[in-house]
Amino acid sequence: MSADFPYVIDPRRPPSGRRAGASLSLLILLLALAAGCAGSPPVPVAQPIENPTIEAETRLWYQASTAFSDGRYSAAIHLYERYLTTYPKSRRANEAHWELGQSYEQMGEVTGALKEYRALTGPEGAPVSTQSAYAERAQHRIEALRNQPALPAGARSGHTALYVSFSNLPPMSQVESWVRQLSAQGISAILMDGSLESSFTRPPAPTVPPTSSPLPNLPTGALFSTSRGPVMTDWFSVMVPQAHELGISVFAVLDLFHAPMTDHRPESKMLLYDPTRRKVHPWTQFDLLAPTVQQEMAQLLGDLLRSGVDGMVFRTRAENSFAYEVSDGVLRQFETQVHQPSSEVAQALRDRMTVRQDAGAIASDKTLWRWVGWKARQELETLARFKKYLQKAVPRLRMVLEIHPEALSNPTSALVNYGEDAAEARRRGFDLLLGGPSREASDVRNFGGSFKGWSRDVIQSEKGEPQTLPQGWVLLRTPAEHGGGMFTGLAQQADELRTPDIRHLVFVPDAPAAIP
């Protein structure tokens, strides 16, 4: 606790000094009334004045410093940043910058930590007399981070997150009490669907050939305010402020391939090539390589960013159809950039369908690998541009890509089936979330071996400074014994399972069978 703030105030009770002041005022008032009865002129009495601004600042400081001392560093980051934004000239501002920098270090956020420490040291060459008492300590931390290529973040620092699908949202009138219960149980982050199509727990709708009966109408629309498509209910405007009030981060889960946009142009969607019939038929996914889709998608993500989210999780493909997804635009780009006819791509896909699993390499293999490698790089480049665009507006926004387990265990298969290149994604600074079905806690250690060291080989320096490392996330089932919609014991379980490589654990409750 700071020397400037040596006592603790419980925000639920008024300070004892206020009660003493009220008693003294009452005594003065009684004496004045007695004097008035004796015929003396009334004596004006100064009433105690409460200052709501000071009370609000004290309460916010208490919440931030408590989160920091409890080791809830993600909560401390939110609360200290809010404090500095609201009270930038506070006498506690220097201490807030210092503890915010310390919190960033604990979370492995090197860039954020350096920013806060530089705020304390001031411009280079500034007179020592103008620097704060924290300046020397801050300068030591800056030098240490510069000389330390990899920040040894503790295994116990990371998010204990809860995935919340639309089906598991509480009634809107109960959001505040629900979030308070999650905070009390140690939940530090909420992962929430940005639309109904984004759900981790909702099975993907099967693709139907044109001759089959159409799919039943399912509820659709974004769960945040946007001008780019239909909005079902703006849940994020309700959830984000309530969560931030308690230092809980909110991450939006979004499936870009089935984004909630009103773009129904045929050229915006992919086609699926059927090598056996040598035909294409309509596919359900947006073509992320189409310039019109990229423009609409950037505006959609900008709308989502304005909801105040702390990060975005981009869902992976649900179907293993990557190599067979085509469009006129994509094929033209491939022919122009690779200088190879698209007809040879079609032949390579037909060969792949007919060759036996145990057969040796065929002549068209090079074309197949050239095709999937080129297309995977183009899609990842598109996602990286989205990331740069969003982080320019909110630098500390975390960007997470979901990957299938085989992206770690069998990278070749993952590239052909899903277009996933985990190594290249982490070099671009994306966090990786090991998706697929949520798994038991006992499986985390097994996956830990696949993640081990995956972040340390991508450290890149820019202008001589270490950058924030990508981090690992894993989906876990909630324990079967949880009851009443609350999830006791998850924070303790997460601390036991967390490793330096798998920092963030996302617990996935069982979803109801029907979506309301």
Domain ranges of the chain: 1-50, 63-146, 162-261+285-312+381-508
State residue 385 phi and psi, 5-degree precision.
Answer: -70, -40
The alpha carbon dihedral of 451, 456, 458, 463 has a sign of positive
CATH class of 162-261+285-312+381-508: alpha beta
Q: What is the pLDDT of residue 146?
A: 74
- Residue 219: predicted pLDDT: 65
Q: Are strands 431-439 and 398-403 parallel, antiparallel or unpaired?
A: parallel
153 with 500: CB under 8 angstroms? yes
What pLDDT score was predicted for residue 83? Answer: 92
Is the overall model pTM greater than 0.85, yes or no?
no
- CATH code assigned to 63-146: 1.25.40.10
Residue 476 · residue 438 · CB < 8 Å: yes
Neighbours of 106 (CB within 10 A): 22
In whole angstroms, what is the distance from residue 500 CA to residue 451 CA?
Answer: 10
Please provide the distance, in angstroms rounded to a whole number, between the alpha carbons at the two ends of the chain.
48
Amino acid of residue 273: Y
Is 179 in a helix, a strand, or coil? helix
Pairwise CA distance, residues 319 & 310, whole Å: 28
**How do the pLDDT tens digits run along the chain, 516 residues long?**
333 323 232 333 333 333 444 444 444 444 444 444 444 444 444 444 457 778 888 889 988 888 887 777 878 888 898 899 899 989 999 999 999 998 888 777 777 888 899 899 876 555 544 556 788 888 888 887 777 544 333 344 788 999 998 888 899 999 999 998 888 888 889 999 999 889 888 665 554 444 444 444 556 799 999 999 999 999 999 999 998 888 888 999 999 999 999 888 888 999 999 999 999 999 889 999 999 999 999 999 999 999 999 899 999 998 899 999 999 999 999 999 999 999 999 999 998 887 544 444 455 689 999 999 999 999 999 999 999 999 888 877 889 999 998 898 899 999 999 999 998 898 888 999 998 777 777 777 666 666 665 554 444 444 444 455 678 899 988 875 555 556 677 888 888 888 777 888 999 987 543 332
